Structure 1
Amino acid sequence: MKYGVLVFICFAVTLLSCKNDDNGGPEAIPPSLLSDVAPEDDETIREFLNTHFYNYEEFETPPEGFDYRIVIDTIAGENADKRPLMEDAESITLNVSSSFLGLSAGEENIAHKLYYIEAREGGGESPTYADSTFVKYEGTLLDGTPFDQRSEFLWQELAGTVQGYSNGVAQMKAGTSDQVIDNPDGTYSIANSGIGLIIMPSGLGYFHSPNSSVIPRYAPLIFKMELGAFIEDTDSDNDGIPSIQEDLNGNGYLGDDNTDIDQESSFTGFIPNFRDSDDDGDGIPTRDEISDENGNIIIPYPDADGDGVPDYLDPDN
């Protein structure tokens, strides 16, 4: 699931039509507006949720040998009496800005609704959208076409994925370490892992620039996922600040929190704080600015001039 390029590197993308302009060249078509696509996606998703169901009965009363895989089907024919996904779905609203997706339209904080279903609640706690997680997943379009899958558990940093996925996984509960099973074939399973669905609009996914030829532009996405474990307070850059604390504006997206962006350039690369070991760019590692002489982290973080900005975010201290 290669999301980092989309999420953390802003780029300008221009779509070209086959129609020529007056100069004989292709006519440039700018990306659609977030404010136009978001309500269209939500209408499409809601229709899907009202006309489809998953194998909830097997999760409620597991038959012998049940593999706990989510199967989605249409409510029709012999399945006409099934409970629609909408009745099980919960939702959260996340704001998306054009800068998140490398757009130049200048739209800020456009509301997008994310839907999720816990088919089996995990026995543990929930990660944050900034934690490293031990997961299995399958990504599909609404019509079931798969575009990415991991059938065995792998470690995945949620902050390196699209916003809908990271915030969706954060709504689930993981399993617990005492329920890990080491299988004879060398794989692992977790008896009380969390299993669920995430259904997201394109603005929380790839919007106009999908990372796969299978995904159309402006496509809502589904992820079936199993959450086995997570690392609490993941520190992606090992600077002593948990990544979740590096979301300074609290918008559920870590890619736009970059204290020393004025000192960076497109040539050297823009590095958000959760990936930057020197958040204020003053040449002193963040860890050194928050630690005592014995290397112990000082809480609250030092603020030498008392201006309310901790030293690790203040280039003048």
Structure 2
Amino acid sequence: MKYGILVFICFAVTLLSCKNDDNGGPDAIPPSLLSDVAPEDDETIREFLNTHFYNYEEFETPPEGFDYRIVIDTIAGENADKRPLMEDAESVTVNVSSSFLGLNAGEEDIAHKLYYIEVREGEGGSPTYADSTFVKYEGSLLNGTTFDQNPDFLWQVLPFSVRGYANGIAQMKAGTPDQIIDNPDGTYNITNSGIGLIIMPSGLGYFNSPTTSVIPRYAPLVFRVELGLFVEDTDSDNDGIPSIEEDLNGNGYLFDDNTDFDLEPFNSRLTNFRDADDDGDGIPTRDEISDDDGNIITPYPDADGDGTPDYLDPDN
């Protein structure tokens, strides 16, 4: 009996010693800083690009029955003379603030380099990061482990994906509607679609909060993408303002533009590209930018001439 009491006391002491004096819970490891992880990720990605290649020879001279799937392998052995991904890769810089990832570190505009390779250029136009796209995709880690894929075309509204994916697809060209092939099994092919690779640092992906256990924290990601079509000037809330124009601060991120955040508690849940009444004045945005016949007026009306169009001005 005494032994049992002693064990209980030791167990209780152990529990108490693990508690945090501030919140009564176990000590948590704070998230890493974007400014620390970004350069580490870039070094890792550059190493990957310099030591791997894709099946570019098959894309240059497609064999009979080629499925136009990108295959990545290591430059070694019989593949020692292959052209590294780095030679084909282009890059863009995307600034990320910690608040975008739900972090409170207070970091602003930390540069992240996004790499992409347009393996086959599409014959159509390019979407923006705010558009709806018709795509096939496969997401994987740098080691090739797949965490998500969709082998058939589906519609995706890019703002609802991770930033690196949206910004990467915006560098590509799509196919055209006149090249759609309707297959007997209900799937589609688009013969002049764009096919490419997107390689992103974790700050443009899931950073410290991956959506699946397959993705480690702070993991750079690779996406193989086939871009079939896109909706030009996608208007997600059908308010007459293209979603790309609802990025008021021009930072490439649509979820921090919310004109009526301080005016209407209910509307504060909806950022402008999802809000049909952007200024919360009770008059739909579409009505504030249209004439009596329903035609959209451009430039957008500004009744008091203060430089803020009526649809963003609750006083007009």
Q: Same fold (TM over 0.5)?
A: yes
SS of the residue aligned with 1:43?
A: helix
1:283 maps to which residue? 282
Q: Determine the C-alpha separation between the residues in 2 that align with 1:281 and 1:98.
A: 28
Q: Structure 2: how far apart are the matches of 1:72 and 1:264? A: 50
Conservation of the 8 A alpha-carbon contact between 2:176 and 2:192? yes
For residues 195-274 of structure 1, the aligned pairs below 5 Å read 195-263=195-263, 265=265, 270-274=269-273
**Residues 1:186 and 2:198 aligned together:** no
Q: Residue 194 of structure 1: CA displacement?
A: 0.3
**Secondary structure in 2 matching 1:206:** coil
Alpha-carbon separation, structure 2, partners of 1:28 and 1:186: 50
TM-score between the two structures when normalised by the length of structure 2 = 0.91
Q: In structure 2, what is the equivalent of residue 46 of structure 1?
A: 46
Question: What count of residue pairs does the alignment treat as equivalent?
Answer: 298
8 Å CA contact 2:127, 2:133 repeated in 1: yes
How far the C-alpha of 1:253 sits from its partner, in A, is 1.1
Matched, 1:59 2:59: yes
- Match in the other structure for 2:118: 118
CA contact (8 A) 2:234 2:242 kept: yes
What SS is found at the alignment partner of 1:27?
Answer: coil
Alpha-carbon shift at residue 263 of structure 1 (Å): 2.9
Report the AA paired with residue 258 of structure 1.
N
Q: In 2, distance between residues paired with 1:131 and 1:210? A: 24
Shift of 1:20: 3.1
The structure number with the bigger radius of gyration is: 2
Deviates more, 1:70-79 or 1:21-30: 21-30
Gapped runs of 5+ residues in structure 2? 1-16
The superposition leaves residues 124-183 of structure 1 with CA deviations (integer Å, 9 ceiling, x where unpaired) of 111111110000000001111111100100011011111100010010100111111011
Q: How large is the Cα RMSD of the aligned pairs?
A: 1.4
SS of 2:269's equivalent in the other structure is coil
Cα distance, 1:29 vs structure 2:
1.7
Alpha-carbon distance change, 284 to 54 in structure 1, aligned in 2, over 3 angstroms: same
Counterpart contact for 2:121–2:173, Cα < 8 Å = yes
1:81-105 C-alpha deviation (Å, 9 max, x unpaired): 1100000000000100111111111
Q: Does 1:168 align with 2:168?
A: yes
Deviation beyond 2 Å, 4+ runs, structure 1: 19-25, 267-270
Percent identity for Structure 1 against Structure 2: 82
Shift of 1:285: 0.9
Structure 1 residue 136 and structure 2 residue 140: aligned?
no
Using structure 1 for the length normalisation, give the TM-score. Answer: 0.91
Letter in 2 for 1:108: E
**Equivalent residue number for residue 74 of structure 1:** 74
CA distance in 1, matches of 2:114, 2:55: 21
Higher relative contact order (CA 8 A, sep 6+): 1
- In the alignment, residue 90 of structure 2 is paired with which amino acid? E
Counterpart residue type for residue 18 of structure 2:
N
